[in-house]
A and B are shown apart, each in its own frame.
Chain A
Amino acid sequence: METDCIAPARPRSRADGWLDWVQMATGAALALFACMHMIFLSSVLFGAGALNGLSAVMDALHLETVGGVLIAIVFCVHATVAARKIPFKAAQAATAWRHARLLHHPETWAWVAQVGTAFILAVFITIHIWTGLTDLPVQALKSAVRVQHGGWFWVFLLVLPALALHLVIGAWRAGAKWGLITRENRADITRKGLYLLGGFLCLSLLTLLRFRLLPLE
């Protein structure tokens, strides 16, 4: 007679509770930052001067250095903590993939998308933060050069949608996990999330185009 059963629970751990908070908080902080960052950069739509002006103000307040380092740390923490949830083993990844394909369930696909985009973000945002932080203060021309001649245009073309997806899905996920998204408001919030996704994408793509087309003199 077979009597084996699912593995017994590990004794409770305070660490897991904390890590869960940390994951959500860092994710939320990054998401907030990314939105601000986007709005900040989009000032370039009004011309290089607008961006440079804003940047000068922030730099004078040391926001760019201090904030930049802080966000770099948050980014690292988030990546480390959230990576616990990623099925790295081949067999696990295969299970996750098979499961998502079988289920026809948008929210499960959304999670797969979030994990996929996490890899893109891990690689490129790391490099990007490095480039950004070593070349402060932010100035429209420096960026335009990077975008027009440094190959960053194509990188951002990949990173932008990845970020937008990861961010919006992440925010939605945090809401779902913590019960801000309920059975009653789920459809509504999901719709709003899609608007946010679209808005974020439009704004950042326009910004990118602007950098691309910004006269270099």
Chain B
Amino acid sequence: MQIIHTDLLTIGAGLAGERCAIEVAGAGFSVVCLSLVPARRSHSVAAQGGMQAALGNAIMGDGDSPDVHFLDTVKGSDWGADQEVARMFVEAAPIEMRRLAHWGVPWNRVVAGMHTYWKGGKPFDATEKAENHGLIHSRAFGGTAKWRTCYASDGAGHAVLYTMDNRAAQLGVTVHDRSEAVSLIHDGETCHGAIVRCLRTGELRAYLARATLVASGGYGRIYRASTNAIICEGTGLSLALDTGVAKLGNMEAVQFHPTGTVPTDILVTEGCRGDGGTLLDRDEYRFMPDYEPDKAELASRDVVSRRMIEHMRTGKGVQSPYGEHLWLDIRHLGEQHIRTKLREVDEICQNFLGIDPLHQLIPVRPTQHYSMGGVRTDKTGAAYGLKGLFSAGESACWDLHGFNRLGGNSLAETVVAGGIVGRNIAEFLQGYDTAFSTAHVREAAARDDARIRRIVSGADGKESVYAVREAMYDILERAAYVFRNGTDLTWGVQALQEVHERAQHIGLASDGVGANAELALAIRMPGMVRLALCVCHGALMRTESRGSHTREDFPERNDRDWLNRTLASWRPGADLPHLDYEPATSYVELPPGDRGYGGGKIIPAAS
């Protein structure tokens, strides 16, 4: 078995992983990034909308400041965020946007003079200031007081990821793509790297690293309908969970995006609504103003998702062979706007749905979109429980987003957290030595090797991996979607435990040789079911509604009992995650209050 030594191993070469890598490589350390796919195909590339940073250059962002951004973020999180982290984030975000500009991101820029913008389906004129001409521009995004989202046409994620990967290449960061970390090498106290499976050949390799970073993105693909790339299966999280000591935070906090298309679940950007797109029901009636008179379609996405489901439940949904949906209407934005500013959306409609958004309505429904939960870290990015293990980006619970992430904050988080955590890792590596025990490496590799052999030979059974996955999908769809309730969740946890048992008996139908996708999924499957259990069990226990976690049987936000963060860990041999809780934030700048949207009662904290 090949053994590769490096100072930092990052599991994930998306924006967060590479941003960290750049920081650490820039400090003179060796870095290897792993990725399931070539770095630039990481899911960050798919983000269209943009990144939030309080630059305040645009006239509609006039008067913006980190303070306002902070308020939006903490309110958005429904007070689930760590406020110290949020503060660090909002202060650093503008600098990171400028740094990205310096590295080559073609941010859209302010053009002085009068422009026509759209809000709530109506055009209005605004005059950009002459003194801001040529500075980074921003657009509107749901749930923000100011226009604050830096964007690059309709491909912010693409533009930033390509720039980031360019920068990484410049600094000599090594990326091993088609390489999947399958377990962490650790001794219960310190993390020493990972056992990695080559997705080209199927070989196992060991990476020994003084520091290991999980930056593996979200776990959206434990759901059937998700806007995430199909590689977002949460493997990075499940290897942390499998150590038995690391903890996953707030796994039940899963965000649903209001406008996933039907049937392919491709996201059409929030920008559509930001620019004035409206939601219509079967009668082509615009219903959002009835529920949210102020913000209408621009309310935060959990609110919009919830209202959509609520409205569909009144029988106003559109029936289709792929289930019920509603309509997104952008026809009135005009040809110029749709074909240029919303070109990506236009292409999605034409290429994937076969409709022309200039003349036709777009079928949409709430779809899994973002996972707030992740490997729980402290504010420096160090994971709970294991020394030398770090996490950043969507895979982390740093915890900027609490129970609901603001659109545009996650992409910004990847680079801001990446920078901060990267600096911390570099500091950590300075003068840090660790002894690698060959026994641990051998043990870890032998365990993985044996497990893989048993799956290939069918020694443990002949369960079909696809059947197991379907079963998991079905359960989550019923028990842990936009609306949740005790009955379904209780059933869901139990049903998932059965599926978890089945997942131990997966056997292949194919030979498993080389770049075999069935085997790769079979290896991930038990871990994915464990993540699903963390979601379901966490959601069952959390008897309140907060952010995107909505309990029909507990509709009020309960600050008295639940102003805290769920921490899930998986003890060896257990069939349920072990849950404990910690306060949402120890630093309080903004005491819990009303979000100003979404309605709902609040049970105040006992003072």
Q: Which residues of A contact B (CB under 8 A)?
A: 1-2
Contacts and interface: CB of A to CB of B under 8 A. Distances in A.
Nearest to B205: A1
Nearest to B200: A2
A1 B176 CA distance: 9
A111 to B, nearest CB: 30
Nearest to B176: A1
A30 to B, nearest CB: 44
Contacts, number: 6
B32 to A, nearest CB: 11
Interface in B199-241: 200, 203, 205
Contacts of A2: 200
B430 interface: no
6 contacts: A1-B2, A1-B176, A1-B198, A1-B203, A1-B205, A2-B200
Nearest to B196: A1
Interface of B: 2, 176, 198, 200, 203, 205
A24 to B, nearest CB: 34
B197 to A, nearest CB: 12
A164 to B, nearest CB: 41
B467 to A, nearest CB: 33
B488 to A, nearest CB: 46
A2 B205 CA distance: 13
A2 B203 CA distance: 11
Listed from nearest, the 5 A-B pairs whose CB atoms lie closest are A1-B198, A1-B2, A1-B205, A2-B200, A1-B176
Nearest to A2: B200
A1 B200 CA distance: 9
A2 B2 CA distance: 12
A183 B203 CA distance: 47
Contacts of A1: 2, 176, 198, 203, 205
A2 B515 CA distance: 14
A140 to B, nearest CB: 61
B28 to A, nearest CB: 23
A172 B2 CA distance: 54
A168 B572 CA distance: 75
A2 B198 CA distance: 10
B195 to A, nearest CB: 14
A172 B549 CA distance: 63
Nearest to A3: B176
Contacts of B2: 1
A1 B197 CA distance: 11
Contacts of B198: 1
A43 B251 CA distance: 88
A2 to B, nearest CB: 7
Contacts of B203: 1
A1 B201 CA distance: 8
A30 B397 CA distance: 70
A1 B198 CA distance: 8
A28 to B, nearest CB: 38
A2 B178 CA distance: 11
